[in-house]
Amino acid sequence: MDVAEERRFREFVSARSPALMRLGFLLTGGDQHAAEDLLQTVLTKAAARWSRIEEPEAYVRQAMYRQQVSWWRLASTRRETVVADAPDVPARDDTHAADLKLVLRHALARLTSRQRAVLVLRYFEDRPEAEVAQIMGCSVGTVRSTAHRSLARLRAVAPELADLRTPHRSFEEVNS
């Protein structure tokens, strides 16, 4: 990579890392460390071929989806994250929005990686079913049925999320 390409890569990483971290956080079910690993893995791969990438944002996002899909396919080896100390329980915020964020986070964590990926691609990224199917390497019917089952599971494990169906509230508002 020459000096100009390296500068362009650094500028992209500086400008887009916060948004890409949020995407990684959603794809990994709220696991900050896994989101950091996901983004770092993808950026490392992107750096190696940076001069050939025409649309950096699209390339990195799609690479994140594909990498996460690869990781959930290997989920049997990644069921648990070992840490030195038990994690602290987050303090409960009295505001309704903060409560909804926590409910959504825990509800998403109870979904499989595949279900989370479908919901993030379809509803957070607003991707069409055909594109989600292509990214995930499955059929459109699989995307539809997975999205349907995932939403039903969310409703079952977190009935408090019914407030999200109102027109003035969006998934992004609750998750921001």
DSSP letters for 103-164: HHHHHHHTS-HHHHHHHIIIIIS---HHHHHHHHTS-HHHHHHHHHHHHHHHHHH-GGGGGG
Domain final residue, candidates 26, 50, 77:
77
Enclosing domain of residue 53? 3-77
pTM to 2 decimals?
Answer: 0.51
Domain final residue, candidates 18, 45, 77:
77
Same domain, 49 and 108: no
Q: Angle at the Cα of 124 (from 34 to 76), degrees rounded to 5?
A: 35
Q: How far is CA 15 from CA 10, 19, 43, 104, 140, in A?
A: 9, 9, 13, 27, 33
Same domain, 101 and 170: yes
84 located within any domain: no
Same domain, 73 and 101: no
159 located within any domain: yes
154 located within any domain: yes
Taking each helix axis as running N to C, give the angle between helix 129-136 and helix 56-73, from 0 to 180 degrees, rounded to the nearest 10: 60
pLDDT given for residue 79 in this prediction: 58
Same domain, 51 and 101: no
pLDDT given for residue 155 in this prediction: 87
Could you tell me the CATH number of the domain that includes residue 107?
1.10.10.10
Q: How far is CA 60 from CA 17, 43, 56, 66, 120, in A?
A: 10, 7, 6, 10, 15
How many domains in the chain?
A: 2
pLDDT-flagged residues of the chain (< 50): 93, 166-172, 174
83 located within any domain: no
pLDDT given for residue 169 in this prediction: 43
87 located within any domain: no
On the CB side of 151, CA atoms within 13 Å amount to 14
Number of Cβ atoms within 10 Å of the Cβ of 76: 6
